[in-house]
């Protein structure tokens, strides 16, 4: 058994079922090892930003570690922006990155680069394997690192000779990955706080936003009257009828402050302290009002769900009834396209158990609220603010949950970063309905420019914000990658197109000119 085969067998023994990849010459022995296995599914992306974003979406929905195979330093670099987002989502991810054969490094060949140096800023764990004999052990360590500390990005660099040499050893770990629970003092402190009836809110992150974690949060909210909120960037939220309502901290700083000033105590449960994305010359980025105290029940590297379990137990709140909301029949508007109308149609047509991927930026700010009483669904967001994640995330979510419909809400500017994801959707016949809000402008920049007090942008600045020259034709772009698309000009059209999308066997795209 060569090193490559031991790596692949160790991945499989560790529960990896899918590898997202764009391999190159230096990874050929790993590809050959894939060839010998039937258990590991390879999903090809034509650009590495698609690969890492899809891996992230897969892990968020499959609740398993993601795996990628990337080609040398440039392949890793191409995937980095979405690795940044995955890391901010605390997605457990193992990246296998090929490296030149050890003897080749001294030649400074054209594709040589400092791969550990490239990986470090984006990885919580990085290692270069030293030999075929070590590769199985290294792979198992990478898998363990990825699943530790609440989810980490682990990057294993594999020299070609470590892959092709004989002497590989499969490492199958029996021991469970340790999950860190908060100290009982923290639970007691928060329990007392919730009993003291101040204006409190649990700020939820990680697995406190779905499944058992969210149900526990709902139980605690019902029992104590505490509010449930989530920072603007969250990885995954379960929502809709039958789920406790969680308020999202808005993106604009003033709106975030307005929400948070309702509270005197914020309790972090696996979430970071809410903060605005950017500071400005006139204001820092603080959104938590003066006098509001911040407590930590669980830090992001502890287990939020376990923390809520302990808190519910301390509060004896286990049997409280969840504040479940009923599914409502939502009015479906018609006529000319408006952002509110699009949101209402989206909510009214959302299928049960849908997965909504949302990077609709300024155009879609009303989407989340509109869908709060829709049938139960999951909502996936951009956690790191690096745009170009929606389409790849939808790929991964659809692969993780083949029986569920995926609605991908994106915008023209952000979609252009990783539009190659459409091809993988077509190739894998994924049930993804992609909606492109086409306002033909980097709207967030235009707003920011104005808010920084620089007045109206002049011709040069306008030219860097407006992407209408030429207008992107998303129906043609989708066709180019094998995805049927249409352009809609009314809310009725939009409703019909979305429903067509949900009933299709593969992907579709809807361009919504705004």
Q: Scan residues 376-435 and list those touching a copy of itself (CB under 8 A).
A: 383-386, 388, 413, 416-417, 419-420, 423, 426-427
| Binding residues for a copy of itself restricted to 132-151, rule: CB under 8 A | none
Residue (369 or 476) nearer to a copy of itself, CB? 476
Q: Does residue 458 sit in helix, strand or coil?
A: coil
What is the helix, strand, coil percentage profile of the chain, to 5? 40, 20, 40
| Binding residues for a copy of itself restricted to 10-29, rule: CB under 8 A | 21, 23-26, 28-29
Among 472, 491, 498, 510, binds a copy of itself (CB under 8 A): 472
Outline where DSSP puts E strands in 47-128. Answer: 66-70, 93-99, 125-128
Among 16, 55, 77, 227, binds a copy of itself (CB under 8 A): 77
Per-residue binding letters, 252-291, with a copy of itself (x by CB under 8 A): --------------------xx-xxxxx-x--xx------
Among 44, 292, 320, 504, binds a copy of itself (CB under 8 A): 44
The structure tokens 């709060």 sit at 372
**Cβ 444 to a copy of itself, closest distance in Å?**
7
Report whether 425 contacts 506 (CB < 8 A): yes
| Binding residues for a copy of itself restricted to 321-350, rule: CB under 8 A | none
State CA 151 to chain mean position distance: 13
**Cβ 286 to a copy of itself, closest distance in Å?**
8
**Cβ 276 to a copy of itself, closest distance in Å?**
7
Stretch near a copy of itself under the rule CB under 8 A, chosen from 135-143, 304-312, 446-454, 493-501: 446-454
**Cβ 29 to a copy of itself, closest distance in Å?**
7
Residue (104 or 372) nearer to a copy of itself, CB? 104
Q: Is 505 in the site for a copy of itself (CB under 8 A)?
A: no
Residue (103 or 188) nearer to a copy of itself, CB? 103
Vertex 443: Cα angle to 440 and 449 (nearest 5): 135
Calculate Rg over the CA atoms of the chain. 23
Q: Is 104 in the site for a copy of itself (CB under 8 A)?
A: yes
**Cβ 188 to a copy of itself, closest distance in Å?**
28
Residue (132 or 348) nearer to a copy of itself, CB? 132
Q: Is 63 in the site for a copy of itself (CB under 8 A)?
A: no
**What residues pair up with 96 in beta bridges, in sequence order?**
69, 156
| Cβ-count burial 366-379 (b if 16+ within 10 Å, e if not) | bbbebbbbbbebbb
Residue (103 or 172) nearer to a copy of itself, CB? 103
Report strand pairing: 293-298 vs 18-22: unpaired
Q: Is 70 in the site for a copy of itself (CB under 8 A)?
A: no
| Binding residues for a copy of itself restricted to 450-469, rule: CB under 8 A | 452, 454, 457-461, 463-464, 467, 469
Which secondary structure element, helix H or strand E, spans residue 164, and what is its range? helix 160-164
Residue (49 or 240) nearer to a copy of itself, CB? 49
Q: Which pair of tokens denotes residue 258?
A: 């307005």
Outline where DSSP puts E strands in 224-328. Answer: 227-230, 236-239, 247-248, 265-269, 293-298
Q: Is 39 in the site for a copy of itself (CB under 8 A)?
A: no
Stretch near a copy of itself under the rule CB under 8 A, chosen from 45-53, 186-194, 219-227, 291-299: 45-53
Report whether 155 contacts 25 (CB < 8 A): no
**Cβ 371 to a copy of itself, closest distance in Å?**
23
Q: Is 247 in the site for a copy of itself (CB under 8 A)?
A: no
Q: Which pair of tokens denotes residue 123?
A: 């990885």
Report whether 318 contacts 344 (CB < 8 A): no
**What residues pair up with 203 in beta bridges, in sequence order?**
229, 268
Per-residue binding letters, 180-219, with a copy of itself (x by CB under 8 A): ----------------------------------------
Task: For residue 122, give the DSSP letter.
Answer: G
Phi, psi of 172 (to 5 degrees): -115, 115
Q: Is 167 in the site for a copy of itself (CB under 8 A)?
A: no
Burial classification of residue 403, based on how many CB atoms lie within 10 Å of its CB (0-12 exposed, 13-18 middle, 19 or more buried): exposed
How far are the Cα atoms of 47, 291, 410, 415 from residue 418, in angstroms, in the given order? 8, 43, 11, 6
Stretch near a copy of itself under the rule CB under 8 A, chosen from 235-243, 334-342, 355-363, 471-479: 471-479
Closest CA to 391 of 92, 130, 53, 93: 53
């Amino acid at each position: 058994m060569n090193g490559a085969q031991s790596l692949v067998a160790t991945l499989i023994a560790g529960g990896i079922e899918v590898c997202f990849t764009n391999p190159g010459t230096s990874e050929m022995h790993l590809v050959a090892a894939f060839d010998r296995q039937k258990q590991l599914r390879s999903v090809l992306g034509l650009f590495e930003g698609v690969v890492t974003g899809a891996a992230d979406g897969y892990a968020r929905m499959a609740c398993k570690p993601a795996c990628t195979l990337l080609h040398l330093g440039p392949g890793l670099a191409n995937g980095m922006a979405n690795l940044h987002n995955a890391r901010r989502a605390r997605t457990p991810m193992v990246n296998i990155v090929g490296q030149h054969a050890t003897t080749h490094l001294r030649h400074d060949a054209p594709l040589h680069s400092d791969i550990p140096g490239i990986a470090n800023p984006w990885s919580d764990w990085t290692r270069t394997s030293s030999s075929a004999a070590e590769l199985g052990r290294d792979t198992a360590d990478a898998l363990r690192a990825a699943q530790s500390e609440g989810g980490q990005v682990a990057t294993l660099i594999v020299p070609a000779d470590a892959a092709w040499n004989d002497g590989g050893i499969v490492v199958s770990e029996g021991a469970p990955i340790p999950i860190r629970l908060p100290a009982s003092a923290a639970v007691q402190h928060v329990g007392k706080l919730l009993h003291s009836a101040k204006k409190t809110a649990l700020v939820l992150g990680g697995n406190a936003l779905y499944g058992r974690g969210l149900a526990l949060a709902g139980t605690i909210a019902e029992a104590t009257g505490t509010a449930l909120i989530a920072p603007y960037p969250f990885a995954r939220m379960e929502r809709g009828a039958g789920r406790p309502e969680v308020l999202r901290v808005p993106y604009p700083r003033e709106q975030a402050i307005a929400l948070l000033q309702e509270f005197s105590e914020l309790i972090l449960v696996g979430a970071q302290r809410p903060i605005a994305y950017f500071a400005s010359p006139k204001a820092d980025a603080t959104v938590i009002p003066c006098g509001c105290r911040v407590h930590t029940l669980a830090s992001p590297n502890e287990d939020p769900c376990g923390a809520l379990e302990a808190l519910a137990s301390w509060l004896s709140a286990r049997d409280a009834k969840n504040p479940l909301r009923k599914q409502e029949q939502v009015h479906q508007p018609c006529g000319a396209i408006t952002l509110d109308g699009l949101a209402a149609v989206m909510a009214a047509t959302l299928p049960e158990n849908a997965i909504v991927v949302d990077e609709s930026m300024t155009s879609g700010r009303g989407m989340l609220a509109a869908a709060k009483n829709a049938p139960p669904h999951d909502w996936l967001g951009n956690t790191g603010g690096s745009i170009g994640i929606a389409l790849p995330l939808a790929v991964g979510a659809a692969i993780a949950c083949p029986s569920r419909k995926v609605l991908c809400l994106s915008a023209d500017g952000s979609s252009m970063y990783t539009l190659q994801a459409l091809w993988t959707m077509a190739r894998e016949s994924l049930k993804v309905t992609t909606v492109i809000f086409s306002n033909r402008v980097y709207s967030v920049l235009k707003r920011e420019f104005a808010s920084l007090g620089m007045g109206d942008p002049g011709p040069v600045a306008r030219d860097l914000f407006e992407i209408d020259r030429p207008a992107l034709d998303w129906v043609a772009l989708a066709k180019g990658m094998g995805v049927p698309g249409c352009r809609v000009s009314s809310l009725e059209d939009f409703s019909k197109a979305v429903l067509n999308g949900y009933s299709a066997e593969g992907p579709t795209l809807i361009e919504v000119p705004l």
